[in-house]
């Protein structure tokens, strides 16, 4: 199937990163069939096309690979392990790796609220075990979330902002799981045996998702393709979206050049949920129907998500971000090819 949009995005990622440090190395990527994992894999694919010593990647999946990974599933540098990372026996079957990127963990609220215990396990005990599978002098990247700042009114969130939610919060399985995973990372970072980084990612979007992805942006695209977007509320909640190629560019550079442990990884595209729906509707020449329901927070979702990304911009030299309209057009173009 046609992945030209993803490949072109990953060619731009590779212009701004130097993956040669990982040539000939063994990398394990969890969550590789998700949005961020897809772009991590395709950026390796683009790099390996011209490398004489390819990066070797092992991915873990507990269900069949999505269609958009079919093109690279036959590559000799890629190995696929089918198993469940919340299964202790499967975890203990894993070998040692030069680098591990732990991106598994149900980034979709609908998914993590349906699988609370597994969400906790993937971010806690699984994270601890994966940290023990990194070779001396290697790298470990934990893909965390802006949700660790939940409850704070100190917006935009800096890396020093304290989240203030309690363990009985409706989204605690995700929030507290990520916090605990970060705690494990900081313990191992203190040992100094290998490089450890934490990336608190917020609202990445773009091509490379499964057709049942429940996040609001993809729900709006599906509804628009079906005729119109019906809002569940007035859509006043504020968000700052980041196109996935910008997210993954920053993730690679955090591993390669980051001098500190923890970084915010977000975007600059400020929008309300209603404005997001309206932008998608205009691209697809359809309409938005606004609910008369009050804006009650669904499942404890924050009213405003906005991170200070000055540290990653200043230290890693990130200066350009894909505008929301351009990112939505690329996402919709890809989405139509696969699911329309």
Q: Which CATH number fits the domain that encloses residue 160?
A: 3.40.50.720
pLDDT level of residue 305 (50, 70, 90 thresholds): confident
Higher pLDDT, 212 or 152: 152
For residue 296, pLDDT beyond 80: no
* Residue 70 falls inside a structural domain: yes
pLDDT level of residue 63 (50, 70, 90 thresholds): confident
pLDDT level of residue 212 (50, 70, 90 thresholds): confident
Mean pLDDT of 159-178: 93
pLDDT > 70 fraction of the chain, expressed in percent and rounded: 95
pLDDT, tens digit, for every residue of 38-56? 999 999 999 999 999 999 9
Are the C-beta atoms of 202 and 158 separated by less than 8 Å? no
Handedness of CA 140, 30, 256, 317 (dihedral sign): negative
Among the residue ranges 108-112, 216-220, 246-250, 263-267, the one predicted with the least confidence is 108-112
Mean pLDDT of the chain: 93
pLDDT, tens digit, for every residue of 87-127? 999 999 999 999 999 999 766 666 667 788 899 999 999 99
For residue 1, pLDDT beyond 60: no
* Residue 233 falls inside a structural domain: no
* Residue 222 falls inside a structural domain: no
pLDDT > 90 fraction of the chain, expressed in percent and rounded: 81
Residue 293 CA to residue 53 CA, distance in Å, equals: 57
For residue 298, pLDDT beyond 60: no
Q: What is the pLDDT of residue 200?
A: 98
Closest CA to 100 of 58, 144, 47, 69: 58
* Residue 340 falls inside a structural domain: no
* Residue 84 falls inside a structural domain: yes
Q: What is the pLDDT of residue 337?
A: 85
CB-facing half-sphere around the CA of 162: CA atoms within 13 A: 2
Quote the Cα angle for 48-53-55, to 5°.
55
pLDDT level of residue 306 (50, 70, 90 thresholds): very high
The structural domain count of the chain equals: 1
For residue 147, pLDDT beyond 90: yes
For residue 282, pLDDT beyond 60: yes
Would you tell me how many other CB atoms lie within 10 Å of the CB of residue 62? 15
Full domain range(s) for residue 64: 4-208+242-268+306-321
* Residue 74 falls inside a structural domain: yes
Handedness of CA 330, 328, 253, 84 (dihedral sign): negative
* Residue 147 falls inside a structural domain: yes
Q: What is the pLDDT of residue 109?
A: 66
Residue 123 CA to residue 126 CA, distance in Å, equals: 6
Would you tell me how many other CB atoms lie within 10 Å of the CB of residue 286? 15
100: which residues sit within 8 A by CB, 6+ positions away? 27, 28, 29, 30, 130, 131, 133, 134, 138, 139, 140, 141
* Residue 328 falls inside a structural domain: no
């Amino acid at each position: 199937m046609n992945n030209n949009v993803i490949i072109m995005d990953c060619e731009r990622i590779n212009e701004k990163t130097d993956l040669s440090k990982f040539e000939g190395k063994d990398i394990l990527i969890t969550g590789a069939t998700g949005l961020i994992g897809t772009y991590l894999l395709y950026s390796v694919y683009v790099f390996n096309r011209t490398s004489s010593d390819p990066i070797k990647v092992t991915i873990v999946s507990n269900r069949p690979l999505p269609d958009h990974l079919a093109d690279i599933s036959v590559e000799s540098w890629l190995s696929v392990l089918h198993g469940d990372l919340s299964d202790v026996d499967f975890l203990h079957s894993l070998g040692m790796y030069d680098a591990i990127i732990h991106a598994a963990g149900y980034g979709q609220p609908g998914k993590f609220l349906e699988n609370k215990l597994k969400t906790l396990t993937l971010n806690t005990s699984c994270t601890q075990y994966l940290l023990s599978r990194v070779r001396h002098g290697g790298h470990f990247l934990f893909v965390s979330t802006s949700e660790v700042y939940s409850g704070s009114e100190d917006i935009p969130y800096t890396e020093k902002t304290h989240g203030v939610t309690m363990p009985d919060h409706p989204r605690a399985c995700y929030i507290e799981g990520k916090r605990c995973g970060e705690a494990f990372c900081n313990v191992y970072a203190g040992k100094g045996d290998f490089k450890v980084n934490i990336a608190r990612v917020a609202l990445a979007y773009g091509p490379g998702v499964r057709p049942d992805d429940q996040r609001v942006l993809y729900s709006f695209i599906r509804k628009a393709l079906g005729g119109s977007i019906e809002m569940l509320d007035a859509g006043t909640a504020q968000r700052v979206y980041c196109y996935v190629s910008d997210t993954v560019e920053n993730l690679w550079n955090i591993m390669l050049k980051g001098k500190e442990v923890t970084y915010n990884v977000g975007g600059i595209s400020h929008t309300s949920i209603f404005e997001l729906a309206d932008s998608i509707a205009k691209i697809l020449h359809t309409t938005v129907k606004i609910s008369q329901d009050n804006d009650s927070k669904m499942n404890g979702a924050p009213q405003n998500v906005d991170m200070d990304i000055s540290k990653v911009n200043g230290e890693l030299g990130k200066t350009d971000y894909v505008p929301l309209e351009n990112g939505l057009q690329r996402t919709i173009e890809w989405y139509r090819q696969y699911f329309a």
